[in-house]
A and B are shown apart, each in its own frame.
Chain A
Amino acid sequence: MCNEPRWNLTRAVPCLFREAPGVRSIVVETPDHALEAQISADFVKRIGEGDRRAEEELVRRYQRGLIYLLKRRTRDPQLALDLTQETFRIAIEKLRQSPIEQIERVGAYLRGTALNLASADVRKYARRATTVDSNAVDAAADGVVGPFDQVSTDQVQRLVRKLLDELPVQRDREILVKTYLQDEDKSVICEALGVDSAHYNRVLFRAKQRFRELLTTAASQRGLKVVG
């Protein structure tokens, strides 16, 4: 039985292939509560045992999401980085000391800690010197950017223009404009344009998928490594 966590592809995939040599592909499930609990238990156990690699994996897994969340809440990129580092410091200290299964969902715990820091005396916390001895926490201050962060505003405008031009039906362009510019609700848009919910979902899904492709191409052309 392969006991490697399935979200950790570098460990799980070779393990699964060893067990079932005939397998040609493996479907990796999207994270859900059960998987998140499994991931959390793995982190709690390994970090509790002093596994420094587990600390690095914890940071790698949650860093981008935490920075994004905190940027949204604080509207201050530098503060978001500081708070992310502080969140990991608190979490790793706790995980090193906590008995197994005290923290059921690491993601929820990190979110709660981060938001508490953001809503408290944020500057005081953020500027406090990091005391925990952890390379992973130090790395969290590096500010991992998203794959699209380096695409300039001008470039994004050109890509939006391109996307809209690729939508031959005026109605579909209106779906995008009403959704993102006018912030109208789906039901209102569907009624106004005479389309059903399935059509709306399809147009929006395809448009976002296409836009992501355009962003990914633009980002890679700038020499960035595209993740995802």
Chain B
Amino acid sequence: MDRQYIRDNDVIERYLKGALAADEEQAFEEAYLGDAELLDQLQAAERLRDGIKELDSAGGLGRSRPRWQQTLASPRYAMAATVLLAVSLGFSSVLYNENQVLRGGGSQTPMITRFVALESVRGGNVPETAAPAQDELIVLLLDAGIVAYDTYRAVITRRDGERSEEIWSRADLAPQLNGAIAVGLQGRMLRPGIYEAKIDGRMNGWAAGRFEEVALTSFVVAPRE
């Protein structure tokens, strides 16, 4: 039983839950008996498994938030954001580079007035944000996933029943802000409705056009009160 077989067939996970066939179990045990590296992998996976179960028992699961979201939610960040707004962060080169629309050239650079952190949630509440003003700049912070791709592509789509309309896309993106992809959109692009933000990843050397899906997040732009 070699490493590739063990990895491709989830042998460690199935061993830990006692789901290997007898011959597979024997082969795996003989493999790790004299293989310190494989034994390390097995013991680390076991601690991870036990840790998740213990954390769940302690009620610690379900409150997990990405580090960058914790940062955004912190008072210190809020204070910093206020200061940054005061000095017109709209000139931020990171965000500016992410937005082709802005680079296309308006005569006036809009103010960044809102950060919207979007987390991919299945079966949970869809994130909602109030519709921006026409000249407002909304910065979407999107999950970049755990796998480190060389570049990313972001596509923002507005959904209207069966119809969907791509309102913004850009490839060759790199994660910013603690691993999030920052996308700046002018307020007039986000009229009330349902939207999807899709992030795909790509490795250098892949065939042209090949991407792998990283995250797909829906969000709602609600009418302004």
Q: Chain A residues in contact with chain B, CB under 8 A? A: 30-32, 36, 39, 61-62, 64-66, 68-69, 105-108, 110-111, 146-149, 151, 153, 156-157, 159-161, 163-174, 176-177, 179-181, 183, 186, 193, 195, 199, 201-208, 210-212, 215, 227-228
Tally of contacts, chain A with chain B, CB under 8 A: 168
B7 touches A111 (CB 8 A): no
Interface residues of B in 1-35 (CB under 8 A from A): 2-3, 7-8, 10, 13, 17, 26, 29-35
Give bound CA distance, A181 to B48, whole Å. Answer: 10
B33 touches A111 (CB 8 A): yes
Interface residues of B in 124-170 (CB under 8 A from A): 124, 143-147
B residues contacting the other copy or chain, number (CB 8 A):
60
Q: List 12 A-B contacts (CB under 8 A).
A: A65-B39, A111-B30, A147-B40, A147-B43, A168-B68, A168-B119, A172-B145, A180-B49, A201-B8, A207-B146, A210-B146, A227-B36
B47 touches A211 (CB 8 A): yes
- A32-B2, A176-B52, A203-B146 known; A170+B44 contact, CB < 8 A: no
Give bound CA distance, A204 to B10, whole Å. Answer: 9
Interchain nearest-CB distance for A47 vs B (Å): 15
B55 touches A168 (CB 8 A): no
CB closest chain-A residue, reference B66: A168
B67 touches A206 (CB 8 A): no
**Contact residue among A172, A180, A227 (Cβ-Cβ distance under 8 Å from B48):** A180
The answer to whether the Cβ of B215 comes within 8 Å of any Cβ in the partner chain is yes
B146 touches A151 (CB 8 A): no
Give bound CA distance, A168 to B71, whole Å. Answer: 13
Instruction: Given contact pairs A65-B35, A147-B40, A160-B52, enumerate 6 new A-B contacts (beta carbons under 8 Å).
Output: A30-B3, A146-B39, A173-B64, A180-B53, A181-B52, A183-B17
Please name all residues of chain B whose beta carbon is closer than 8 Å to the beta carbon of A203 when the two chains form the complex.
Answer: 146-147
Please name all residues of chain A whose beta carbon is closer than 8 Å to the beta carbon of B31 when the two chains form the complex.
Answer: 31
A170 touches B10 (CB 8 A): no
Majority SS at the chain B contact face: helix
Please name all residues of chain A whose beta carbon is closer than 8 Å to the beta carbon of B193 when the two chains form the complex.
Answer: none
Interchain nearest-CB distance for B15 vs A (Å): 9
**Contact residue among B47, B145, B179, B213 (Cβ-Cβ distance under 8 Å from A151):** B47
- A172-B145, A206-B146 known; A165+B36 contact, CB < 8 A: no
A161 touches B64 (CB 8 A): yes
Give bound CA distance, A147 to B121, whole Å. Answer: 36
B120 touches A169 (CB 8 A): yes
Interchain nearest-CB distance for B49 vs A (Å): 4
A168 touches B143 (CB 8 A): yes
A167 touches B33 (CB 8 A): no
Give bound CA distance, A36 to B29, whole Å. Answer: 13
The answer to whether the Cβ of B214 comes within 8 Å of any Cβ in the partner chain is yes
The answer to whether the Cβ of B100 comes within 8 Å of any Cβ in the partner chain is no
